[in-house]
Chains A and B, each alone.
Chain A
Amino acid sequence: MLEIRNLHVTVEGREILKGIDLTIHPGETHAIMGPNGSGKSTLANVIAGREGYTVTEGEILFEGRNLLEMDPETRACEGLFLAFQYPVEIPGVANLYFLKAAVNAVRKYRGEPPVDAMDFWDLVHERMELVKMDESMLKRSVNEGFSGGEKKRNEVFQMVVLQPRFAVLDETDSGLDIDALKVVADGVNALRNPERGFLVITHYQRLLDYIVPDHVHVLVNGRIARSGGKELALELEEQGYALYNEEPGRARRAAA
């Protein structure tokens, strides 16, 4: 469902991604791990369509269509979701209002009428319990004054309400205690089914104890240095990334 082919991306003239190839089929959950500065968040932002990233080579296909030609809202309406590493505070816009605007934007794109108020309320309540979110957070402005954990929980809450076909989680686990981590994992696992795909970006192996991936990729210096099964995450936990950092040339050969 997501095909990334030979993706090269520069930010302010500096090449960050240096030829990424990655294919994710429906029903699969892939994890991308890597040290800081390896290009993990760049990949997430390019998939979501954030400005400031220049694709110099390669392509991304989503359900066979050129993703890079779509603006961010079209990507979202087509079923793509990014759980932000740094969720944005939006004072003056209530969380619930924002969520309803998002749901209705997607429905409008699909040619459906706006969501029925009662149906929406039922859905929100059901999903709120799934991520153990307090009702008071609905009335507060989007992420305003939320703790780090509340912000991440709110990202997962949005995801389970919007029910995207493909979700990218950009370091959703960073800064979370173990209880919050489980909530994030519960949200993802509740959505996992044979039609959905996930790309879980993380620095630590910890999250992958709860969201068990089908494939793990190690991103180092803008390239996928190694791919493997879920056992690769455990290996990284023991050995760290030092092996890849010290000899990127050898790592590249090993990946090829």
Chain B
Amino acid sequence: MTAVAPLFSNPYRQRFVEFLANRREPGAIARLRRDAFARFETLGLPTRQQEAWRLTDLSALQNLALQPPADALVEAGALPALDLPAHRLAFVNGRFAPGLSRLRALPGQALIASLGQALLTHSARIEPYLDRLPGLEQHPFAALNSAFWDDGAFVHVPRGIGIEEPIHLVFYATGGDMSVHPRLLLALEDGAQATVVVEYRGQGRYLNAPLAELSLGDGAVLHYHQIQEEAPQAFHLGGVRVRQGRDSEAHLHLVSLGGQLARTDLEALLDGEGARCRLNGLTLARDQQYGDYHVRVEHAQPGGTSEQLFKSVLDGKARSVFDGMIHVRPHAQKTDARQTSRNLLLSRQAQAHSNPRLEILADDVKCGHGATTGFLDPDAEFYLRARGIPAAQARALLVHAFANDNLNQIRLTPLRERLARLLAGRLALDIMEGA
């Protein structure tokens, strides 16, 4: 029924057969992969005729002859550091790189490991979580990830255990038109707590199509940060699935800086009474960059709270998309859901699209959304200049102020400061280039 783009999916079929033949893993996992691949073939590659992909132009990606991932050596210096004691797992082209990783002692039976390795040693702990979360059913790249994930990170925090130090997961790709599909599987059992920083980086041209599955038991608390800083020529098509139990708290910070085309589709299911979800997104794009967040927050149970704040700062001919859906099921009374999308355009050629949406099937809820797009306030710029602050610095100060309430919500100080410096550096550069 669905048209399948031949250039893209045919090589994938051959590649899938070879890939599966070389895997040594439990039959249940292989079945998940086959199901996922069948789903991918049914969905086909997205086209701009599909509403969800209307603004995402994948033609440049479709012209590539994508290659399977290969091993490569990466200098430790190429990887970002957190400047904090952290549990670190690094992956190169989707595969665990033990030499670049550093694991510290963990409390109780908590486990942080390569997903590929854990499958051999701890498959009973993985199977209850892998591919179990709803969401992203229509997303071909999520299906592709479920078929092709080679390796990734597995974080399992048993009931009542808190992992103090942040878990730093670095995914690095080395170009060569590879398509990599790393997986993150995170399971916090009831009352468990963890702080996670995921960083996507690379060099050259490649497709990174990661999928993260974040499962929060009752009362679990997760602070999750995802910093997308792919190489300038790279494509990033990521998915995040979140499921939250009763009274759990998810603080999700998404930052998008790199890639020529970057899109993250996120679905959060507030599946327990009183679950709280904070979603905080920041996109910085310039030149011809495209940055896109598609978000769906599903309130399935009463008394849930969700708060979304998505901002983009666009220079040059950059474009951003924010498509956000709040869906409140009939049973989910006393839901409090907010959504804000704000875009700052630094050039006349930049474009921001905001599409906030509400579907409310319960009658006793508080829901609100708003979207604004604008240029820097010339009155504010003049005010700063009239106090002696040079024009470029005045503009940088105003942009920083715009992005600041996103960055200020990041509690990991060195990470927040690194992002603030990066923002400041990029602005100064852009303004000099523009002058």
Contact = CB atoms under 8 A, between A and B. Distances in A.
B401 A105 contact: no
Contact of A48 (B380, B386, B400): B386
A49 B386 CA distance: 8
Interface in B359-400: 377-380, 382-391, 393-394, 397-398, 400
Given A90-B398, A92-B400, A92-B401, A72 B385 contact: yes
Interface in A97-116: 98, 101-102, 105-106, 109
Contacts of B398: 90, 93
A76 B391 contact: no
A233 interface: no
B127 interface: no
Contacts of A142: 383
Contacts of A49: 385-386
Contacts of B389: 73, 101-102, 105
Given A92-B404, A93-B401, A105-B393, A76 B383 contact: no
B386 A109 contact: no
A91 interface: yes
A50 B387 CA distance: 12
Contact of B397 (A71, A76, A87, A93): A93
Nearest to B390: A73
A98 B384 contact: yes
B404 A50 contact: no
A87 B386 contact: no
A84 interface: yes
Given A51-B378, A88-B383, A90-B383, A76 B388 contact: yes
A221 interface: no
A76 B386 contact: yes
A172 interface: no
A78 B105 CA distance: 60
Interface residues of B, number: 23
A102 B380 contact: no
Nearest to A103: B388
Contacts of A162: 387-388
A88 B377 contact: yes
Contact of B388 (A73, A84, A88, A89): A73
B405 interface: yes
B129 interface: no
A98 B401 CA distance: 11
A82 interface: yes
Nearest to A86: B379
B8 interface: no
A98 B198 CA distance: 34
A88 B393 CA distance: 17
A75 B387 CA distance: 9
A51 B397 CA distance: 20
A109 B380 CA distance: 21
A162 B388 CA distance: 10
Interface in B213-272: none
Interface in B393-435: 393-394, 397-398, 400-402, 404-405
Nearest to A82: B386
Nearest to B404: A92
A77 interface: yes
A76 B391 CA distance: 12
B387 A102 contact: yes
A42 interface: no
Contacts of A84: 383, 386
Contact of A73 (B379, B385, B405): B385
Nearest to B389: A105
Interface string B24-52: 00000000000000000000000000000
Nearest to B383: A88
Contacts of B391: 71, 73
A95 to B, nearest CB: 12
Contacts of B379: 88
A52 B375 CA distance: 18
Residue among B384, B391, B398 with most chain A CB within 10 A: B384
A77 B386 contact: no
Contacts of A90: 377, 380, 383-384, 398, 401
Given A51-B378, A73-B390, A92-B405, A101 B385 contact: no
Contact of A92 (B383, B387, B390, B402): B402
Contacts of B386: 48-50, 72-73, 75-76, 82, 84
Contact of A51 (B382, B393, B400, B405): B382
A158 interface: yes
A158 B380 contact: no
Given A51-B378, A92-B405, A87 B385 contact: no
Nearest to B387: A102
A50 B385 CA distance: 10
B392 to A, nearest CB: 10
Contacts of A71: 385, 391
Nearest to B379: A88
Interface in A24-58: 48-51
B184 to A, nearest CB: 32
Interface of B: 377-380, 382-391, 393-394, 397-398, 400-402, 404-405
The 3 closest A-B pairs by CB, nearest first: A92-B401, A76-B388, A102-B387
Given A50-B386, A105-B390, A109-B388, 18 more contacts: A48-B386, A50-B382, A72-B385, A73-B386, A73-B390, A73-B391, A76-B388, A88-B377, A88-B380, A90-B377, A90-B401, A91-B401, A98-B387, A101-B384, A102-B389, A105-B387, A106-B388, A158-B387
27 contacts: A48-B386, A50-B382, A50-B386, A51-B382, A72-B386, A73-B389, A76-B385, A76-B387, A87-B383, A88-B380, A90-B380, A91-B401, A92-B400, A92-B402, A92-B404, A92-B405, A93-B398, A93-B401, A101-B387, A102-B387, A102-B388, A105-B387, A105-B388, A105-B389, A141-B401, A158-B387, A162-B387
